[in-house]
Structure 1
Amino acid sequence: MPAVAESDHDTASPQASLTQSLDRAIGLLEEVVNHAASGAALGALAERARLSKPTAHRLLNGLRKLGLVDYDEKTRLFFPGLKLYRMGLASAARFDLVQLAQPGMALLAEETGDTVYLSLRAGDSALCVARQTGSFPIRTLTLEVGDYRPLGLGAGSLALLAALPDAEVEQVIARNREKLAPHANFDPVNLRAMVRQTREQGHSLNDGKMLPEMAAIGVTVRDVAGRPAAALSIATITSRMRPERRASVVALLMREARALEQALGVAPAPEAPR
């Protein structure tokens, strides 16, 4: 094994120490990005960045808290955090997933007349990265591109939360308790029930829980590893999301979600036997 090129007990001025910590964190982040498709384990990241495991672990935890790095509890691998995507939006209009989703979002907006959103997970929040408005004169513009919401708050955000493993759902709910406190319909008990309902139905439904006059449906888009990569959602006024219309909206969302998954390289699910 190559020698580790740093010491956890370097003596330096505060400014030099800060610069060194930033250099190490950026080096780790670059290694995480270099292995975005497959993920990278702590030991491999530490070795490639020439850091001790404790130092790498401490820096990665800091990057996770900032939303710059995500950690898959099941595989114990690190992936780029979706907050990086927001930074990309601020500096460039081009973003692969948004570009891939735009034609389908435009079609959904045309077919339904309603507002279509694309959201990504960013730590314990959902980040709106794209929006397409339809032709219906009353628009539900409750989210702007770049807006964050705690996971579970809103249809797309709830779809992302429900796609996570049970243990991770509980961790997110616990960490978001204070952020969700002002929203009476989104206490932990109700949120767990919404997660169960979303999993049973195969889509999320926000039927006026945030705003009485607004309803929305969301579905998850998964990546090649089966993790939630994004959520597509359609929002409109409640009178346009009656039960008799929901099935058609869900079918349209599912169609575009599956098309987006295939564009991301996800193999289509096998057809059920007849």
Structure 2
Amino acid sequence: MVTKNPIQVADRLFLVLETLADTGAVSLGFLCEKLKLNKSTTHRLLSSLSYMGYVKQDPKTQKYDLSLKILSLSNKMLSRMDILEDLKPYLKRLSGETGETVHLVALDGLDAVYIFKEESCQNSVRMVSKVGNRVPLYCSGVGKAICADLPDSKIEEVWKASNIQKLTPNTITDYTLFMKRIEEIRKSGYALDDEENEIGVRCIAVSIPDYHGRSRYAFSISAPAARMSDERISEIAHIILKVKDEIASSL
């Protein structure tokens, strides 16, 4: 495993992109402070990214921001995920049937990345998650659902490589307890995020294999904890497991 980028300038270029993705349009001075780099270095990095079309500068405010080329790249990648188009009808129907927000994620290293979101149109409370956001496997419903399909040895590798943090008072940071939850998921068929990643939000999730039978995807139903009582989760569990079976049959 590579622990340090062998090309430092590449490391800095992508750091600029990731920072602008978080901050939005900012001045050169602000970006220097954020990156902890001097102005000349930061300006060269921005100039290079501007030349390649990934960064733009507003002629009026002189602020820098990402261009739409980034969006174009992500859309091209998503368009190659045939499974996404196959699953959309099921996920849209699931959201309509439950009245809650549905997410689809793909496994990427130690994280699950949101690749689709169907927002509930029946409730005024909106989930802050966005397509492209990442959540760690160890503290998310979708992540634990994917982990439950993996061999114990692989789960241990994921755990040891993860930056285990107590994101909320409910986050599981003990490996023995985590594996106990994995066993529960394997028996019930679904995983829970019991306000482990974000206080006030509960999720129920199930994994789905790719076309080759590998555990690489999962989808979830998320809602404010006030709407996700244990009784409500029990009701939704039957629905989400039924949809999982339908998807598995179609794939």
Instruction: Give the TM-score normalised by structure 1.
Output: 0.59
* 1:138 CA displacement: 3.9
Please say if residues 159 and 204 of structure 1, whose CA atoms lie closer than 8 Å, have aligned partners that are also in contact. yes
What whole-Å deviation, never above 9, does each CA across 1:215-252 have from its counterpart, x for those lacking one? Answer: 11001112455421311100001122212222221122
SS at match of 1:181: coil
Q: In structure 2, how many angstroms separate the alpha carbons of the residues matched to 1:192 and 1:245?
A: 25
**162-171 or 197-206, larger mean C-alpha shift:** 197-206
Does 2:246 correspond to 1:259? Answer: yes
Corresponding residue number in structure 2 for 1:195: 182
* 1:92 CA displacement: 5.5
Corresponding residue number in structure 2 for 1:97: 83
* 1:155 CA displacement: 1.1
Please say if residues 145 and 207 of structure 2, whose CA atoms lie closer than 8 Å, have aligned partners that are also in contact. yes
Written as runs of structure 1 = structure 2, the 5 A alignment for 1:2-21 is none
Counting matched residue pairs gives 178
Corresponding residue number in structure 2 for 1:121: 107
Identity of aligned residues (%): 22
Does 2:148 correspond to 1:148? Answer: no
**Is there any run of 5+ residues in structure 2 with no aligned partner, and where?**
1-70
The 4+ residue runs of structure 1 with deviation greater than 3 A are 86-90, 223-226
Corresponding residue number in structure 1 for 2:191: 204
Give the direction of change, closer, same or farther, for the CA distance of 1:93–1:150 in structure 2 (3 Å limit): closer
Equivalent AA in structure 2 for residue 174 of structure 1 = K
SS at match of 2:115: strand
Written as runs of structure 1 = structure 2, the 5 A alignment for 1:52-71 is none
**Is there any run of 5+ residues in structure 1 with no aligned partner, and where?**
1-85, 265-274
Equivalent AA in structure 2 for residue 263 of structure 1 = S
Q: In structure 2, how many angstroms separate the alpha carbons of the residues matched to 1:150 and 1:87?
A: 26
Corresponding residue number in structure 2 for 1:139: 125
Does 2:154 correspond to 1:160? Answer: no
Corresponding residue number in structure 1 for 2:167: 183
Please say if residues 106 and 216 of structure 2, whose CA atoms lie closer than 8 Å, have aligned partners that are also in contact. yes
Please say if residues 138 and 237 of structure 1, whose CA atoms lie closer than 8 Å, have aligned partners that are also in contact. no
Give the direction of change, closer, same or farther, for the CA distance of 1:88–1:248 in structure 2 (3 Å limit): farther
Q: In structure 2, how many angstroms separate the alpha carbons of the residues matched to 1:241 and 1:231?
A: 19
What whole-Å deviation, never above 9, does each CA across 1:179-208 have from its counterpart, x for those lacking one? Answer: x32425231434323222222221101122
Equivalent AA in structure 2 for residue 243 of structure 1 = D
SS at match of 1:118: strand
Q: In structure 2, how many angstroms separate the alpha carbons of the residues matched to 1:110 and 1:247?
A: 18
Instruction: Supply the RMSD in Å over aligned alpha carbons.
Output: 2.4
Corresponding residue number in structure 2 for 1:230: 217
Q: In structure 1, how many angstroms separate the alpha carbons of the residues matched to 2:149 and 2:73?
A: 25
Equivalent AA in structure 1 for residue 167 of structure 2 = H
Q: In structure 1, how many angstroms separate the alpha carbons of the residues matched to 2:227 and 2:91?
A: 19
* 1:140 CA displacement: 4.7
Please say if residues 181 and 187 of structure 1, whose CA atoms lie closer than 8 Å, have aligned partners that are also in contact. yes
Does 2:97 correspond to 1:111? Answer: yes
Give the direction of change, closer, same or farther, for the CA distance of 1:124–1:212 in structure 2 (3 Å limit): closer
* 1:88 CA displacement: 6.5
Residue in structure 1 matching 2:206, options 219, 241, 244: 219
SS at match of 1:111: helix
* 1:163 CA displacement: 1.3
Please say if residues 173 and 188 of structure 1, whose CA atoms lie closer than 8 Å, have aligned partners that are also in contact. no
